[in-house]
Amino acid sequence: MRRLRHLTGHRRTVASNRVLGLLLAFNAGAVNAGGFLVVHLYTSHMTGFLSSLADNLVLGQMKLVLGAIGALWAFLSGAGTTAIMVNWARQRRLRSTFALPLLLVAVLMLLFGLVGAITLSWPTPFAVPLTVLLLSFIMGLQNATVTKMSSSQIRTTHMTGVVTDLGIEMGKMLYWNRTGTAPESQVRANQARLRLFAGLLGMFLVGGIAGAAGFKHVGFVFVVPLALVLLALSLPPLWADRARLRQPWRKALALQAPLDPPLDPPTAR
């Protein structure tokens, strides 16, 4: 329990950021690849939707434009929700600063796994199923959580930046330093960053394989175990904050409580 609380608590370390980032990269890869089999769209990164918006705006395909706008809006809303929850928790000095948005991710993934098939037929004003909006919102939540948690050093829902940084470190590793070059002038790879980016890329790939296989053979229910893992990660800090989380409710109830009724007037003798 203490290890889980440390993993998602407000006090961050390089090790805890790395472990949580790897777990969430696996989760994003699974949701992204598995979701593609359902809605035929990758919902964990917005580059494709932004390009689709530009292309179809020029081509006059307004239905596809609305679909791209819907996914972008949902992802932005998820990231904004994370910012609200994290700053709310920070102002109250809660241990569950980053556990709160992860709890919301877990709950939404659990709902998606249990009733996701129903959402495919629900109409939306954005010309895409509610499933696309839900998955984009979840990915926005997760990506913003990891971004704020790691001070923008780790991304888990899209791999373009990770592959770029990994390539930079590999270039440094392969660079030939001439004999006699001063140690402070030599080009050397950052081994910690190299391992981190390689790990994120590998976990996203493994998660994608697992997600594609899970959705193909099991269906929406495959998401339930992933949601339960995130639930297990987010609950320990929330449990540690249970007393502080009750305080606002107690104050609100105290303000709403009716005043004591007046005493009955004395009876005449």
- Measured CA to CA, the distance from residue 130 to residue 43 in angstroms comes to 12
Range of the domain at 85: 2-158+205-243
The answer to the question of residue 237 being in a domain is yes
Complete DSSP assignment for 78-102? HHHHHHHHHHHHHHTT-TTTTHHHH
Contacts 24+ apart (CB under 8 A), 77-80: 77/137, 77/140, 78/136, 78/137, 78/138, 78/139, 78/140, 78/141, 78/142, 78/143, 78/144, 79/140, 79/141, 79/143, 79/144, 80/140, 80/144
The answer to the question of residue 172 being in a domain is no
The answer to the question of residue 40 being in a domain is yes
pLDDT computed for residue 149 by the predictor: 86
Sequential pLDDT tens for the chain (269 residues): 555 556 666 677 888 888 889 999 999 999 999 888 888 888 888 888 999 999 999 999 998 899 899 999 999 999 999 999 999 988 888 888 888 999 999 999 998 888 777 877 777 787 778 888 899 999 999 999 998 888 888 888 888 889 999 999 999 999 888 877 787 778 888 899 999 999 999 999 999 999 999 988 988 888 999 999 999 888 888 887 877 777 654 554 444 445 444 444 544 44
The model's pLDDT over 183-213, given as tens digits with 9 standing for 90+, comes to 777 888 889 999 999 999 999 999 999 999 9
Name the residue among 169, 175, 174 with its Cα closest to residue 189.
169
Number of domains into which the chain is organized = 1
The model's pLDDT over 28-54, given as tens digits with 9 standing for 90+, comes to 999 999 888 888 888 888 888 999 999
The answer to the question of residue 103 being in a domain is yes
The answer to the question of residue 178 being in a domain is no
The answer to the question of residue 167 being in a domain is no
Complete DSSP assignment for 19-31? HHHHHHHHHHHHH
Q: Which residue has the tokens 């303000």?
A: 255
The answer to the question of residue 200 being in a domain is no
The answer for residues whose C-beta is within 8 angstroms of residue 82's C-beta and 6 or more apart is: 101, 140, 141, 144, 145, 148
The answer to the question of residue 248 being in a domain is no
Residue 134 burial (CB count, 10 A):
21
